[in-house]
């Protein structure tokens, strides 16, 4: 099938195209130079054309999302998705799998990365991916509190650690290394937490610094497309901004060496809004977003995603077990807790970020402050769905960023006065341009994930994932912006029209992306000797049952990396 998108105003930051009126040709699912006369013409005059959106940090699948769904029938009751010909779905902050896929697609998004997959629960994650339509998926595998990783890193045995990481990524079909509260979740097994980067975890006696640095080295040894994806220590504690900067600083000297993709950074800081708090307690709590932004601007090795608070009632879920317990104790809300043997843990607590709450209002302002002060090529739009807010609020965040008037309306009329007195968000006159919006919602993600060869841009050869929004490039009316980005005029998935005028017109099932690194055979044999022992002693499952089987995806898309020289 051939299409030609005519007269659209194209924003494609990876190819440095800033609002040029041009035609885009599509043949057999990829973007090509030209098409024949028979190509179907899509008139996009007066509309904005961008590559398909990418959410590089979201929680849409797996055991903890499902626990959230199970424990929150009241969330299911809040929103109903019923459209002819589509599977019905429910849920506002933790929608069902089908609703998740449909709604991402309605917004012009075509790829979502599930941000926390415990290796042991990988089958569950992939099984839910099978039922998530419209978008491509990938999952970040949790390594930061893994016993095997901690043992190897303590012994400074980076080769074996790399071999283990490669093996886990292959058998659990993971995409990259995720680190959550390094050392802290393991300490939670002892009913404790770690504070700061140099606080050793019990028994393993390893610090967060050793884990982050070690895994960063391993990541570059393996040449993975994505960098390490880190949720640093002390999430949500007043005064944690120092830990955040220390963690960024500790991997500064490591060179990026991806064997696939065009990544230039070695460190991805997830939901940095939760890590930019000043003060010593909730009473003198204040924003340090500007300081974090300043550090990010002057460093070349860091990319951050924001995790913008949207001031909704939502569900928090993270592998940071002790943090969720603290949240449960402070709110009194229901709480789910899970220990994943040998590997990690997690917790789920419903949470209401009330606009009238002083602390929540400052959190909201911190997110915006980071957006407004950071170089738009180093910051990524996310809500850490559903931790800071559901992904369906992205259009509202875009409206806050593009219109100072709208932002000031919220700052002065809606939220608590602390947002004005304890942050500098009111001082900034910056308004995001359409080009910068394209950067923070697609281009930066594609680049840092290492997928920019074929995704996140509109150059010849790219996969034809395209979003067309019915909005002029200079539009400033927040209502128009919110509406346009919530319901795309067209979404193309792999060269087919899947959304038209905000409605799903065609159901497709995307790919699941994973990484398969080939390592040296003698090294692998050595690893297997250790692993057989670990499985015999510590796991409740056999190694053969641990692997994710072939049938748990609609279509696997494997990134093969040959790295047999590490030994």
Partner 1 sequence: MEVILKLKEDIVVPVELDALLPEKIEGMDVEEIKDIEIPQGRRTVKVGDIFHVEIEESDIPRMTIKNSSMKLKRVGEGMTTGEIVIEGDVGMHVGAEMRGGRILVHGNVDNWAGRGMKGGELIVKGNGRDYIGSAYRGGYKGMSGGLIVIEGNAGHEIGEHIVGGMIHIKGNVGYFAGIHAKGGIIRIDGDVPGRLGAEMIKGAIVVNGRLSQVLPSFKYEGIVENPVIKIKKKDEGVRIEGTYHMYTGDYVNRKPKGQLYVSVNKNPHLA
Binding site for partner 1 (CB under 8 A): 71-75, 77, 332-334, 350
- C-beta closer to partner 1: residue 75 or 320: 75
> 130 burial class (0-12, 13-18, 19+ CB within 10 angstroms)?
middle
Whole-number Å distance between alpha carbons of 245 and 234:
12
| Alpha-carbon dihedral angle through residues 237, 239, 243, 246, given to the nearest 10 degrees | 160
Q: Quote the least distance from Cβ 73 to partner 1, whole Å.
A: 4
> 159 burial class (0-12, 13-18, 19+ CB within 10 angstroms)?
middle
Instruction: Yes or no: say if 507 and 89 are a contact pair by the CB < 8 Å rule.
Output: no
Q: Quote the least distance from Cβ 315 to partner 1, whole Å.
A: 11
- C-beta closer to partner 1: residue 328 or 393: 328
Q: What tokens does 379 get?
A: 């910051």
Residue in the structure block whose two tokens are 């919602």: 441
Q: Quote the least distance from Cβ 329 to partner 1, whole Å.
A: 8
- C-beta closer to partner 1: residue 354 or 508: 354
Q: Quote the least distance from Cβ 77 to partner 1, whole Å.
A: 6
Instruction: Yes or no: say if 308 and 273 are a contact pair by the CB < 8 Å rule.
Output: yes
- C-beta closer to partner 1: residue 334 or 536: 334
Q: Quote the least distance from Cβ 197 to partner 1, whole Å.
A: 31
Number of Cα atoms under 13 Å in the Cβ half of residue 325: 15
- C-beta closer to partner 1: residue 181 or 315: 315
Q: Quote the least distance from Cβ 74 to partner 1, whole Å.
A: 4
Q: Quote the least distance from Cβ 350 to partner 1, whole Å.
A: 7
Instruction: Yes or no: say if 566 and 520 are a contact pair by the CB < 8 Å rule.
Output: yes
Crossing angle, helix 289-298 and helix 241-249, to 10 degrees?
A: 10
- C-beta closer to partner 1: residue 77 or 190: 77
Whole-number Å distance between alpha carbons of 444 and 159:
30
Instruction: Yes or no: say if 332 and 374 are a contact pair by the CB < 8 Å rule.
Output: no
**CA-based radius of gyration for the chain:** 22
Whole-number Å distance between alpha carbons of 539 and 497:
46
Q: Quote the least distance from Cβ 133 to partner 1, whole Å.
A: 25
Q: Quote the least distance from Cβ 365 to partner 1, whole Å.
A: 26
- C-beta closer to partner 1: residue 46 or 73: 73
- C-beta closer to partner 1: residue 333 or 563: 333
Q: Distances from the Cα of 518 to the Cαs of 151, 216, 374, in angstroms?
A: 23, 19, 37
Q: Distances from the Cα of 177 to the Cαs of 162, 180, 402, 466, 509, in angstroms?
A: 11, 10, 33, 28, 25
- C-beta closer to partner 1: residue 35 or 326: 326
């Amino acid at each position: 099938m051939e299409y030609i998108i005519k007269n659209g105003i194209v924003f494609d930051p990876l190819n440095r195209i800033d609002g040029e009126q041009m035609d885009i040709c599509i043949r057999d699912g990829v973007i090509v130079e030209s098409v024949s006369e028979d190509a179907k013409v899509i008139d996009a005059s007066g509309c904005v054309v961008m590559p398909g959106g990418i959410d590089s940090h979201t929680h849409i699948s797996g055991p903890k999302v499902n626990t959230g769904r199970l424990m929150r029938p009241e969330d299911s009751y809040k929103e109903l998705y019923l459209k002819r010909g589509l599977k019905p779905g429910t849920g506002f902050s933790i929608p069902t799998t089908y609703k998740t896929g449909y709604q991402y697609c309605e917004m012009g998004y075509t790829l979502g990365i599930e941000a926390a997959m415990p290796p042991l629960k990988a089958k569950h994650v992939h099984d839910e991916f099978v039922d998530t339509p419209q978008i491509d998926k990938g999952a970040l595998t949790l390594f930061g509190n893994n016993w095997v990783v901690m043992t190897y890193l303590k012994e400074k045995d980076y080769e074996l650690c790399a071999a283990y990481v490669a093996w886990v990524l292959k058998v659990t079909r993971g995409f990259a290394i995720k680190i959550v509260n390094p050392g802290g979740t393991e300490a939670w097994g002892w009913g404790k937490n770690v504070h700061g980067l140099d606080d050793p975890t019990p028994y393993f006696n390893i610090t967060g610094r050793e884990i982050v640095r070690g895994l960063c080295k391993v990541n570059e040894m393996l040449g993975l497309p994505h960098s390490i994806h880190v949720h640093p220590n002390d999430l949500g504690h007043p005064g944690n901004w120092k830990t955040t900067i220390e963690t960024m600083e500790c991997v500064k000297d490591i060179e990026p060496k991806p064997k696939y993709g065009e990544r230039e950074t070695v460190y991805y800081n997830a939901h940095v809004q939760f890590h930019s708090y000043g003060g010593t307690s909730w009473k003198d709590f204040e924003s340090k977003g500007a300081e974090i932004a300043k550090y990010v601007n002057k460093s070349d090795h860091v990319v951050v995603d924001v995790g913008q608070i949207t001031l909704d009632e939502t569900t928090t879920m993270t592998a940071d077990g002790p943090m969720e317990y603290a949240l449960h104790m402070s709110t009194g809300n229901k709480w789910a807790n899970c220990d994943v043997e040998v590997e990690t843990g997690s917790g789920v607590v419903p949470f209401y970020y009330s606009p009238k709450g002083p602390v929540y209002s400052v959190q909201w302002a911190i997110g915006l402050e980071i957006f407004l002060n950071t170089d738009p090529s180093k910051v990524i739009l996310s809500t850490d769905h559903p931790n800071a807010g559901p992904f369906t609020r992205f259009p509202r965040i875009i409206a806050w960023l593009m219109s100072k008037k709208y932002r000031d309306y919220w700052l002065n009329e809606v939220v608590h006065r602390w947002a004005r007195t304890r942050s500098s968000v009111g001082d900034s006159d910056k308004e995001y341009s359409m080009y910068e919006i394209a950067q923070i919602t697609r281009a930066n993600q594609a680049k840092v994930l290492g997928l920019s060869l074929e995704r996140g841009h509109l150059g010849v050869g790219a996969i034809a994932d395209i979003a067309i929004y019915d909005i002029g490039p200079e539009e400033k009316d927040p209502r128009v912006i919110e509406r346009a980005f919530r319901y795309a005029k067209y979404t193309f998935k792999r060269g087919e029209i899947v959304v038209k005028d905000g409605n799903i017109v065609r159901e497709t099932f995307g790919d699941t992306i994973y990484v398969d690194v080939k390592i040296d055979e003698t090294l692998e044999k050595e690893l297997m000797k250790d692993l057989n022992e670990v499985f015999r002693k510590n796991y409740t499952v056999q190694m053969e049952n641990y692997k994710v089987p072939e049938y748990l995806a609609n279509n696997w898309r494997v990134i093969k990396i040959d790295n047999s020289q590490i030994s």
